Chains A and B, each alone.
Chain A
Amino acid sequence: MALTRNIITKIDERTKEHPQMRKDLKRLLNSCEEGRQLKRVVEDILKKI
């Protein structure tokens, strides 16, 4: 199931100043849901930092 509206709203609220972090958190959570290799996802996210 996709991320619930509740979770999305909460992420948006907390990342108003950090659009990149918002994108990354949603990507990470979606990857969890899809059962992807999370280490690779985190690595990929942190490459841009």
Chain B
Amino acid sequence: MRIEKLEIKNYRQYRNVTFDFAKKDGKPDIHVVLGRNGTGKTNMLNAITWCLYEEESHLGDKNASISELNTEAISEARKNGQNTVSLSVAMTIATDDMARPKLRIRRIADFNVKPRSVQPTEVRIEVQEYLSDGKNWNAYTAQDLQQSTISRHIPHEINEYIFFDGEQLEKYFQGANREKLQNGINSLTQVNLINRAFTALEDYRKRDLTPKIKEVGDDVIDRIQDEIQQQEMLKAAELADLEEYKKQKASIGADIIKYDEIISTNEKLEEQKNTYAQLEAKYDALDGQLVKLNKELMLFVREQYTLFGMYSAFSSYYKYVKAEADKGNLPPHFDKSMLLKMMNSSKCGVCGQTLTTEAYDYIQRVIDKMSVSSEVAVQLQQSLPVMRANFDEMNKFPVKLKSYQDERRRLEQEIKVCDQELTNYQLILNSIPGKEAILDAIHKKKDAAELLSTTEQGIGACNERIKKIDEKLEQLNENLKTQMRKNEKMSGLLAQREYVDNCKAILTEIKNETVVETRNRIQEETFKIFQDLIWKKDTFSRIEIGEDYTFKLFDKYENQTLGSCSAAERALLALSFTLALQDVSGHSSLLYIDTPIGRVDTENRANFMNNLLDVARNKQVILTFTPTEFDHTVSNILTGNTSTFGELLSEEGVTTLKVS
């Protein structure tokens, strides 16, 4: 399906502009519309969705502030005294249906223009299909036929996968979009239809069949039915819990991706923070060692100071005693009283013999010569080694002092290095933008992971309880059937109930199988397309799409990388998913992307644009850009490769199109 023509009249900035999206031979089916902010790029997208579904899906505050009916048209009407003015958007679409190859849609809104106000009065639509067999245009007037004709070609449910704004591509996998995504997929795969059919059968069984059965039933049947009802209520409560758990799981999953995105801006922050803490501890330890060393040094110096204070006295004393000892003036130990006793008795104190005159004189000379007592002499001599030890100690002082000083210098140096490292880390930490948010995200991610595990346990427990209830229900239904067979009046109702149950069982089987099949096919197809398009061929290994459509993208080391992907890679994954979705659902539509590279960094723009060019070889791609986005890189890739190129110009709030 492709848009051939888009005509916008009196809609917001547009007075009267026609976009002709004809495909040029030999060129990719790519169409570029360039426009400054405010010229109506996004309102071009809104015009399309309004024309198709009477919805302006991309109406932000900025666009909503522009009057729906063009202000110049209002002024002109007032000037000419005209009361009714219309705005309209018309589209000509080439479909994939050979029998109805073209579709024309024109939605018109009428306004009552008063001097001070403008009131909308009516919105109407014209839908025409070109029938190839009759070779004519067939107009539909019935409202339901008009809308179903549009939906047959461009299903409302998938319009978000055809008409994008660039920001949406980047936010594709965030929580809020996932539910929409799941609904869209369920619509595309008709799982929603199955759900509706199932509910219709379920409602009929509960509200119509069950009361009728009760009416004609007996006590045993009533009792079993009450029990069934009770079990069904229990099951409904468990299913509601399960749904809650699943929602919680999806929400936690989305939170984790969000935290990963924040963390990925500086994955090493926590490591740096830890290193900083270790450095701080090292600094404190070194500082402690220095304080201890300084204390030891003070004590040592104080001790040595005492010794040094007495040094001159010690030195003179030592020199004197040593000199006297060297001269032999310090006699060995004699017992002077014994010598005197020997002289008085004139007998030798050892052998008892009478002393000779020579011996007597000799003893007398010895006694005379002893100027100091021998005891003092001994003590003086004994003090010499002590004195020497003190001198030795004092001689060691410079060596010991140097060793203390060396150690102190070493510690001071180490502290300086550590301090420098701390300063550097501090600078690094301070320079990290959003540091607090990253740390916060790291902690929250840990909490979320724990909560996720608890939630998964809850889901497991819920499933287990549901399984038991189902077993009980099966048994009760079997009993009920047996009882009902006994009651003839019941046979018709029983058959109806059984028929409804069988239909429900088939629908459940089809639904479950379709859901799993679709998810697996989209998963495979998305990764295949992504691998074809991505410029980093060896980085990613697989995609995993969860039951709740949570996306996981793994690298070759089996690490989840979606959170840390660049905006371009994420947008490309979204694009791959969209193409896969269109393939799987069999709705091959165009792609309309408003500002596709708004969030893509400069280095990846070329890659991304080349990808879009590849896509445009097989389907229509309409892109809108601001002049800033349409930079040298983008222009080089697209120039000469587009089927049409137009520029939106704005003069006094009115947009015109310049085609080149």
CB-CB contacts below 8 Å: B141-185 with A: 144, 148, 151-152, 155
Asked whether A11 lies within 8 Å of B496 as measured between CB atoms, the reply is no
Chain A residues near B506 (CB-CB < 8 A): 11, 14-15, 21, 25
Q: Given A10-B513, A43-B204, A49-B495, A38 and B196 touching (CB < 8 A)? A: yes
- The answer to whether the Cβ of B514 comes within 8 Å of any Cβ in the partner chain is yes
| CA gap between A39 and B144 in the complex, in Å | 20
Asked whether B204 lies within 8 Å of A32 as measured between CB atoms, the reply is no
Asked whether A33 lies within 8 Å of B510 as measured between CB atoms, the reply is no
- Nearest to A27 among chain B residues (CB) is B197
Bitwise interface map of B from 492 to 536 toward A, beta carbon under 8 Å scored 1, else 0? 100110011011001101100110010000000000000000000
Chain A residues near B514 (CB-CB < 8 A): 6-7, 10
Contact of B499 among A7, A21, A32, A39 (CB under 8 A): A21
Interface size class of A (residues with CB under 8 A): 20 to 34
Interface size class of B (residues with CB under 8 A): 20 to 34
Contact of B510 among A11, A28, A32, A34 (CB under 8 A): A11
Asked whether A3 lies within 8 Å of B190 as measured between CB atoms, the reply is yes
| CA gap between A25 and B514 in the complex, in Å | 16
Bitwise interface map of A from 13 to 26 toward B, beta carbon under 8 Å scored 1, else 0? 01100000100110
Asked whether B586 lies within 8 Å of A7 as measured between CB atoms, the reply is no
Asked whether A24 lies within 8 Å of B503 as measured between CB atoms, the reply is yes
| CA gap between A32 and B189 in the complex, in Å | 14
Q: How far is the CB of B154 from chain A (nearest CB, A)?
A: 10
Chain A residues near B201 (CB-CB < 8 A): 28, 42
- The answer to whether the Cβ of B417 comes within 8 Å of any Cβ in the partner chain is no
Q: Given A1-B152, A14-B509, A39 and B502 touching (CB < 8 A)? A: no
Chain A residues near B189 (CB-CB < 8 A): 4, 6
Q: How far is the CB of B18 from chain A (nearest CB, A)?
A: 30
| CA gap between A2 and B514 in the complex, in Å | 16
Contact of B204 among A1, A4, A33, A42 (CB under 8 A): A42
Q: Given A1-B155, A10-B514, A42-B204, A29 and B499 touching (CB < 8 A)? A: no
Contact of B196 among A10, A14, A21, A32 (CB under 8 A): A32
Chain B residues near A7 (CB-CB < 8 A): 190, 193-194, 510, 514
Q: How far is the CB of A32 from chain B (nearest CB, A)?
A: 4
Q: Given A10-B514, A14-B506, A32 and B496 touching (CB < 8 A)? A: no
Asked whether B194 lies within 8 Å of A21 as measured between CB atoms, the reply is no
Nearest 6 pairs of A and B residues by beta carbon: A38-B200, A32-B196, A42-B204, A10-B510, A32-B193, A46-B496
- Besides A1-B155, A10-B509, A21-B502, 16 more A-B contacts (Cβ < 8 Å) are A2-B152, A4-B189, A6-B514, A7-B190, A7-B194, A7-B510, A14-B509, A28-B197, A28-B503, A32-B200, A33-B190, A35-B144, A39-B200, A42-B201, A46-B499, A49-B492
